[in-house]
Amino acid sequence: MQLKEQIQEVLAQINDLKAQNEKELEDLRIKYLSKKGIVVSLMNEFRNVSADQKRELGIALNKLKTEAQNKINQLRESMQNSNISVDADLDLTRTAYPIPLGTRHPISLVRNEIIDIFTRLGFSLADGPEVEDDLHVFTKMNFAADHPARDMQDTFFIENSPNDIAKNVILRSHTSSVQARVMEHQQPPIRVICPGRVYRNETITARAHCFFHQVEGLYVDKNVSFADLKQVLLLFAQEMFGKDTKIRLRPSYFPFTEPSAEMDISCHICGGKGCSFCKNTGWVEILGCGMVDPGVLELCGIDSKKYSGYAFGLGIERITNLKYMVKDLRLFSENDERFLDEFVSAN
Residues at the interface with ligand DAH (CB under 6 A): 174, 176, 216, 254, 257, 288-290, 311-313
Spell 46-80 as b/e; 16+ CB within 10 A means b.
Answer: eeebeeeeeeebeebbeebbebbeebbeebeeebe
Spell 208-244 as b/e; 16+ CB within 10 A means b.
Answer: ebebbbbbbbbbbeeebeeebbbebbeebbbbbbeee
Instruction: Give dist(CA 51, CA 185) in Å, integer.
Output: 116
- Which is closer to ligand DAH, CB of 216 or CB of 264? 216
Q: How far is the CB of 94 from ligand DAH (least distance, A)?
A: 54
Helix or strand holding residue 125 (H, E): strand 124-125
- Contact partners, residue 151, CB within 8 Å, separation at least 6: none
Percentage helix, strand, coil for the chain under 3-state DSSP, each rounded to 5: 45, 20, 35
Q: Which residue of the chain is nearest ligand DAH when measured via CB? A: 313
- Which is closer to ligand DAH, CB of 128 or CB of 290? 290
- Which is closer to ligand DAH, CB of 13 or CB of 139? 139
Q: How far is the CB of 179 from ligand DAH (least distance, A)?
A: 7
Amino acid at 52: D
- Which is closer to ligand DAH, CB of 71 or CB of 213? 213
Helix or strand holding residue 251 (H, E): strand 247-254
Pairing of strands 131-133, 211-221: unpaired
Q: How far is the CB of 288 from ligand DAH (least distance, A)?
A: 3
- Which is closer to ligand DAH, CB of 179 or CB of 245? 179
Q: How far is the CB of 310 from ligand DAH (least distance, A)?
A: 7
- Which is closer to ligand DAH, CB of 249 or CB of 331? 249
Q: How far is the CB of 98 from ligand DAH (least distance, A)?
A: 43
Q: How far is the CB of 254 from ligand DAH (least distance, A)?
A: 4
Q: How far is the CB of 102 from ligand DAH (least distance, A)?
A: 30
The per-residue DSSP string of 131-191 comes to EEEHHHHTGGGT--TT-GGGSTTTS-B--S-SSSGGGGEEE-SSTHHHHHHHHHH-PSPEE
- Which is closer to ligand DAH, CB of 67 or CB of 262? 262
Sign of torsion, CA 303 298 226 195?
Answer: positive
- Which is closer to ligand DAH, CB of 237 or CB of 311? 311
Sign of torsion, CA 314 316 320 321?
Answer: negative
Q: How far is the CB of 262 from ligand DAH (least distance, A)?
A: 8
